[in-house]
Amino acid sequence: MAYILSIGKSEPPYDISQTQVKSLVESLFPLSERDKQRLLPVFDHAMIEKRQFVVNQEWFKHPHGLGERNGIYIKEAYRHSLHAIDDCLGSELFLTEPVSFNDIDMIIFVSTTGLATPSIEARVMNARSFREDVKRVPLFGLGCAGGVSGLARAYDWVKAYPSKNVLVVNVELCSLTFQKTDSKKSNFVGTALFGDGISAVLVAGSKSDLLGKKKQTVPVIDGANSKTKKDSIDIMGWEIKDTGFEVVFNRSIPHLVKDFWKDHVQSFLRDRGLNADELPFFVAHPGGKKVLEAYQEVLQLDEDAFSESYHVLAKHGNMSSVTVCYVLYEYMKSFPEVGTRSLMAALGPGFSSELISLEWY
């Protein structure tokens, strides 16, 4: 088993409403009236109120190359990773006392919106008193699935080494991928959905000395599973161009939830002797309104089972891998009673599905 003891966050400084983003996009793209009627409603129907960005609105008005974008990514990913880690290890909400950097045995760093070699966790280790023998696992390319996948890999490791502790850091700076010259519908969908976010999650093994520092009930991972659909690499991801990352977003994603994901989640629940209607809530990555509605249809549940997913989507947008960690944070801070069961789920490029089984202890 793997105990999720604490979550920390770092929210970028530029808080921009969906109305402001829509107006900005309308001013940047020379759209015909027909295109406005066809493309701009996506901003109104996304169920997003606002998002946070690491750059201000003026930045979007100017051209930027891959090098400039990535330079900002490295600087901001480093800065916000440190803030989220400090928030996680020093959390007064989840911990009875701060956790020492010296207690961390592995750092898993998850991101798909920028590139860095040495990777960001190496830079973070230089800024804090982590041990030199900390194991580093940078994960790139998992997209929205990365939040669940990173926790699943931490679970795999502490299951083998139950006295160890893992820090899973997720950084997604989606604003830096905005392309003002890409008029494809997928770019408008991405611009209407994606925001920036950073999280750090502390995962401890079943024999860790840190278990005594948990404040109240915490979720425990007791199973994880991955599934990748063959011949589906064109469903979502990036086209990497001279100007930066250009989004790939296929309209078939909600259909794949009702088909590919349905088989995966039903099999996962069945193997654990669970029924969806027995779980009071789902820690689901809110890829967008249509994805959440597809989850509901597959599981035959109403909006209440995904209330925090809708809440995070409204207040932060889709922050790729980070988003599901924000959703988990919202459920954790209500300290569900002992024995509460749930499922953590996310979809990503590949096309892939990641699932984790949770029980509160």
Q: Are residues 203 and 232 in the same domain?
A: no
End-of-domain residue from the set 168, 188, 213: 213
Q: Which of 261, 335, 332 is nearest to 292 (CA)?
A: 261
Q: Are residues 186 and 240 in the same domain?
A: no
32: CB partners within 8 A, 6+ apart: none
First-residue to last-residue Cα distance in the chain: 11
Q: CA angle 309-44-65, nearest 5°?
A: 85
Query: CA–CA separation, 50 vs 349, rounded Å?
Result: 25
Q: Are residues 241 and 200 in the same domain?
A: no
Low-confidence ranges of the chain (pLDDT < 50): none
Q: What does the pLDDT read at residue 171?
A: 98
End-of-domain residue from the set 180, 213, 246: 213
Q: Are residues 168 and 45 in the same domain?
A: yes
Q: What does the pLDDT read at residue 110?
A: 98
Q: What does the pLDDT read at residue 189?
A: 77
Give one DSSP letter per residue of 144-166, joined into a string: GGHHHHHHHHHHHHHHHSTT-EE
Q: Are residues 235 and 164 in the same domain?
A: no
Do strands 352-360 and 341-348 pair parallel, antiparallel, or not at all (unpaired)? antiparallel
The DSSP 8-state label assigned to residue 258 in this structure reads I
Q: What does the pLDDT read at residue 192?
A: 85
What CATH number does residue 178 fall under? Answer: 3.40.47.10
Q: What does the pLDDT read at residue 191?
A: 83
Q: What does the pLDDT read at residue 214?
A: 95
Tell me the residue range of the domain where 21 lies: 2-213
Give burial (CB, 10 Å; 0-12/13-18/19+) of 304.
Answer: exposed
Q: Among the options 88, 144, 174, 325, which is catalytic?
A: 144
Q: Are residues 174 and 279 in the same domain?
A: no
Q: What does the pLDDT read at residue 343?
A: 96
Q: What does the pLDDT read at residue 130?
A: 98
Q: Is-cis flag, bond preceding 280, omega within 30?
A: no
Query: CA–CA separation, 223 vs 267, rounded Å?
Result: 13
Q: Are residues 208 and 225 in the same domain?
A: no
Q: Are residues 83 and 127 in the same domain?
A: yes
Q: Are residues 93 and 127 in the same domain?
A: yes
How many domains are contained in the chain? Answer: 2
Q: Which of 127, 64, 67 is nearest to 101 (CA)?
A: 127
Q: Are residues 240 and 142 in the same domain?
A: no
Q: What does the pLDDT read at residue 193?
A: 87
Task: Provide the CA 237 distance to its chain's centre, in angstroms.
Answer: 15
Q: What does the pLDDT read at residue 35?
A: 74
Query: CA–CA separation, 86 vs 89, rounded Å?
Result: 5
Q: Are residues 66 and 124 in the same domain?
A: yes
End-of-domain residue from the set 213, 229, 248: 213
DSSP H/E element including 73: helix 66-89
The residue count of the chain comes to: 361
Q: Are residues 259 and 204 in the same domain?
A: no
Query: Coil, strand or helix: which one is 51?
Result: strand
Whether 144 sits among the annotated catalytic residues: the reply is: yes
Q: What does the pLDDT read at residue 258?
A: 80
